[in-house]
Amino acid sequence: METENTKRVNILLAIDDDEQSENAVDWALNHFAGPQFEFSVLHAYNYSVVLASGPPLVGVPYAYSSLYQAARESAQAQARSLLHKYSSLFKDKHRTLVECVAHKGPVKDVIISYLGMHPTNLLVVGCRGLSGLSKWLASVSYHCLYNAPCNTLVVKTCSKPPNTGPRKIVICMDGGAQSEKAFRWTRDNFLRNGDEVVLVSVQPDQGKLEEKMDAKALEYLTSFADELRTAIYNNCSCRAMVLFGKPGEVILGIVDHDTVDLLVMGSRGLGLFKRTLLGSVVDHCAAHTCVPILVVK
C-alpha cells in the first residue's frame, strides 16, 4: 500500500531466456506497480568447450582456442540480446530500472553473490510448473529461497487460469515473530485497495483441546485483521481461518481450490502455535502448487 512516507523497495529479477523468467517478470510488474518499486535485472550465463577427447570444460581459459572464443562470444551476445529485451520492456512500461546486468558463472552463485553486494528487499525468480519434490529441491528457486539474504518470491509457470477478480492473498500466521513480519511486509508493500486477504492458522489435531486452541488462534488472527480495518486499508477485505491438520496439506487445500494470487509465509514459524513454516511445509507447497510463494525473512 503506497503512502506519502512509503520507502523505496528494491526488487531484483533473476532472469534467463525462458518462459519462466518472462512469466515472473510479468507477474512482478503487474503486482508491484507503484512508483516506490525500483527494479534491477540480473542474468547469469556460462559457456563451455567440448573437446573430442573428453567432457565439456567450463570456463577454462583457452585464450587461443577458436572454439573457446566462439563459445564465449556466442554466450555474451545472447546475454546482451536478453538484457536489451528486458531494458526495452521496462522502458515501454515506464518502470524504474536501476540496473540490467549479466554476470558469468553458475546461476545460483551469481544470484547470491549479487545480493551480497547490492541491498535488496525482494528477489523474484521464475520456476517451472509442478515438477515434484525431488526436482524442486535441486532447483535454483529452492537454493535462493534458503540462501538469499532477502525476501524471496518464487513465481511458477503453470496452466492455472489467472484471477479476473480482486486479488486474493493468503498469509500463513503461526504466532511467531517471523509470520507477523511477513504480514506487515505484505501489508506495507503489496496490498492494494480492493484486495481480499485471508489469514490462516493451521493447528495440529488435538481432540478435545481443539476448541480452546481454535478460540485462541482466532483471537490472535483477528488482532491482525483489525490492522487492515483502518482508513488507509478501508477497501481491503480480510477474514481469518483456523484449521486443523497437517500444515502443508491444509494450505494446499486452500490455495489450490480457490483463485489465489499470492501465498505468504514467514521464514520461521516456531512460535506461539508451534509450527515451523519454512522447511517441509514450504517445500511441500512449493513443489505441489502453482501459486506464487513469498517467503519473508
Q: What is the pLDDT of residue 75?
A: 92
Per-residue pLDDT tens for 141-199? Answer: 888 888 899 999 999 877 566 677 889 999 999 888 888 999 999 999 999 888 999 99
Per-residue pLDDT tens for 85-106? Answer: 999 999 999 999 999 999 999 9
For the chain, which residues make up each domain, given as ranges? 9-156, 168-296
Select the CATH number that applies to the domain covering 168-296 from these four: 3.40.50.300, 3.90.1150.10, 3.10.20.30, 3.40.50.620: 3.40.50.620
Report whether pLDDT(63) > 50.
Answer: no
Confidence band for 272, pLDDT divided at 50, 70 and 90: very low
Q: What is the pLDDT of residue 143?
A: 86
Report which secondary-structure segment, H or E, holds 57.
Answer: strand 56-58
Please state, in angstroms and rounded to a whole number, the distance separating the CA atoms of residues 28 and 15. 12
Q: Which regions of 184-276 does DSSP assign to beta strands (E)?
A: 196-203, 237-244, 262-266
Report whether pLDDT(276) > 60.
Answer: no
Alpha helices in 58-169 (DSSP H): 66-92, 107-117, 133-137, 140-147
Q: Which residue has 532472469 as its cell numbers?
A: 15
Q: What is the pLDDT of residue 104?
A: 95
For residues 197 and 169, is the Cβ–Cβ distance under 8 A? yes
Class of domain 9-156: alpha beta
Q: What is the pLDDT of residue 281?
A: 79
Domain 9-156 and domain 168-296, same fold? Reply is yes
Question: What SS3 class is residue 170?
Answer: strand
Which CA distances in Å does 189 have to 149, 186, 207? 18, 5, 39
Q: What is the pLDDT of residue 80?
A: 96
Q: What is the pLDDT of residue 278?
A: 45
What percent of the chain clears pLDDT 90, i.e. is strictly above it?
47
Q: What is the pLDDT of residue 193?
A: 86
Sign of CA dihedral 144, 145, 147, 152: positive
Question: What SS3 class is residue 239?
Answer: strand
Q: What is the pLDDT of residue 53?
A: 55
Confidence band for 4, pLDDT divided at 50, 70 and 90: very low
Per-residue pLDDT tens for 9-60? Answer: 999 999 999 999 999 999 999 999 889 999 999 999 988 766 555 555 555 5
What percent of the chain clears pLDDT 70, i.e. is strictly above it?
79
Q: What is the chain's mean pLDDT, rounded?
A: 83
For residues 140 and 108, is the Cβ–Cβ distance under 8 A? yes
For residues 145 and 152, is the Cβ–Cβ distance under 8 A? yes
Q: What is the pLDDT of residue 94?
A: 92
Amino acid at 260: V
Please state, in angstroms and rounded to a whole number, the distance separating the CA atoms of residues 180 and 80. 41
Q: What is the pLDDT of residue 135?
A: 63
Q: Side-chain half-sphere of 240: how many Cα atoms within 13 Å?
A: 20
Report whether pLDDT(131) > 60.
Answer: no
Which CA distances in Å does 122 have to 91, 93, 286? 21, 20, 18
For residues 172 and 202, is the Cβ–Cβ distance under 8 A? yes
Q: What is the pLDDT of residue 13?
A: 98
Give the mean model confidence (pLDDT) for residues 74-82.
Answer: 95
How far is residue 91 CA from its own chain's centroid? 24
Give the mean model confidence (pLDDT) for residues 122-149.
Answer: 78
Please state, in angstroms and rounded to a whole number, the distance separating the CA atoms of residues 227 and 230. 6
Q: What is the pLDDT of residue 175?
A: 82
Ramachandran category for residue 175: left, alpha or beta (phi over 0 → left; psi -120 to 50 → alpha): left
Q: Which residue has the higher pLDDT, 103 or 5?
A: 103
Q: What are phi and psi of 265, to 5 degrees?
A: -135, 155
